[in-house]
Structure 1
């Protein structure tokens, strides 16, 4: 009797182990949690967090979503590199920079727009009415090699002007508005809230917007290479959720200015944001890779990086 029960137990244990290991891939995928370190900007990885869309898509493959933030960009990227999160968002320029450093990030969704949310704006009372008027003057940018610096360099190149005749001043997010309004800088080159706030300032003048330039600077959603390689189905579900969120924004354009209001934007700023192009979500296919490789060459030309990376090595195409 004892021997019989022991044999049955052995069979049961063996069967349980077989089920566990033979279904290992599915069970591992079932246990996946996609942890998004989101930013206080109205990109779709941020706006989707309150909709249930991502949770719905991930549930189809037995996975879950967790949102961490809002975090400033550096804290968000540190959260991923430290293993506390799996994904975040950035600009394509910063992504090119990361790729040039052979980082462990890969891009999985491109959030593309016209570029009218980025540009160079002259401060009130500066007397500046053209890009050339900025010679010998200070221009506020977010960080060297970041979006504002890129737009400024590209604008000067396209106008046939010498960027070395401008003094660039690095400003943090909290000081953009005061530096602009007080005349500490003659102009700012920036994007999103900083750009919108400058446009909304009485007496300011928009000198150029990125949609007037051959830009390849958009938003992009990035994930750790480890997550992308281990959890393709879950990442595809996230991509599908972002596509659905983009469709929701196109059906209701108020979604994006409302998101900025949530993060403290004034009504004047929200009105400017409402005029920005509504982004699309696109895969990192051959066309997107070509655009980002072109951006990499521009980054080399502007002295931001020494050598352009082959972006094909840093993306996953979820349209396949």
Structure 2
């Protein structure tokens, strides 16, 4: 009877071997993007506006399907669950996702050269004039592990204030915006488009932006199963190159980008213009500099207790090869 008990296991091994042969290659073999559907995770329509305004997706042999998320945390959860193939996220949420799962890799990087709408905000009439005044106050860094959370913790450390001396309340962006308007929180650490909307609609004032506190990096992160599919990876590789060209296009076409962003999101032109100006980024190589900067953020998050375990960045990079234009 023993040989019969071994048959299912043997059949499974043979099936896996045949599946590998039918795929025709190892995970790193060339693929064909034609006919693929690439599911892209975006936040608040910003990247979709960029890609549509620049026209870089014209003539792709694959389809791009956009899904919109209010913040990086739910986007990365969808990425882990294979609801999307590739998506955009900042440094802190990317690291939290890497720490929580082996299902995600970093495939491309961008950098904002100046303050890009990531800031700690207070209402216009607030007595808070500096980060030091946040002691004992109610502050939302938007979602836990977000770039807003990292900025707040960095700003508090810079001011010499222990984080436990601030009343931190994690809220989804829509809830945080409502709490900010009604005075339920005293300050809000968030990012565009929420920063721009709060400034335009509520006269919000910046008490600290991200200059000197974060490296200004954002990433395209991908699901590893999608990366291991040669055809899907071929589509992603092409997409990453086109995305870099779109970022380059945006440098010299701010008005076109503003117009399509305002149309896509139904935001006022003044808000759309501010967001477009502050969203100027460039693709950068996933080299030792970028990886080192992200590792520095990871080490800070570990020291803050946001990351529950060490995260080593370099092994989690699968560069799809779009150098800075």
Are 2:141 and 1:141 aligned?
yes
SS in 2 for 1:29: coil
Measured in 2, the distance between the counterparts of 1:34 and 1:289 equals 29
Aligned match for 1:305, one of 289, 304, 307: 307
**Contact (CA 8 Å) 2:198, 2:204: kept in 1 or not?**
yes
Measured in 2, the distance between the counterparts of 1:122 and 1:228 equals 42
**Contact (CA 8 Å) 1:90, 1:220: kept in 2 or not?**
yes
* Superposition deviation, residue 76 in structure 1: 4.0
Equivalent residue number for residue 226 of structure 1: 225
Compared CA separation, residues 204 and 214, structure 1 to 2 (3 A): closer
Equivalent residue number for residue 116 of structure 2: 116
TM-score (norm 1): 0.81
Equivalent residue number for residue 3 of structure 1: none
Q: Which of the two has higher C-alpha Rg?
A: 1
**Contact (CA 8 Å) 1:35, 1:65: kept in 2 or not?**
yes
Equivalent residue number for residue 180 of structure 2: 180
Equivalenced residue count is 294
SS in 2 for 1:54: coil
Are 2:68 and 1:67 aligned?
no
**Contact (CA 8 Å) 1:39, 1:46: kept in 2 or not?**
no
Name structure 2 gaps, 5 residues minimum. 1-20
Compared CA separation, residues 184 and 313, structure 1 to 2 (3 A): same
Name structure 1 gaps, 5 residues minimum. 1-20
Measured in 1, the distance between the counterparts of 2:121 and 2:92 equals 20
Equivalent residue number for residue 94 of structure 2: 95
Deviation readout 1:232-283 (Å, 9 max, x if unpaired): 5433212210111111111112344335422122234224324415111123
**Contact (CA 8 Å) 2:44, 2:69: kept in 1 or not?**
no
Equivalent residue number for residue 152 of structure 1: 152
TM-score (norm 2): 0.79
How large is the RMSD of aligned CA atoms in angstroms? 2.8
Measured in 1, the distance between the counterparts of 2:51 and 2:38 equals 13
State how 1:18-57 maps to structure 2 within 5 Å.
24=24, 29-31=32-34, 33-41=36-44, 43-44=46-47, 47-49=50-52, 52-54=55-57, 56=59
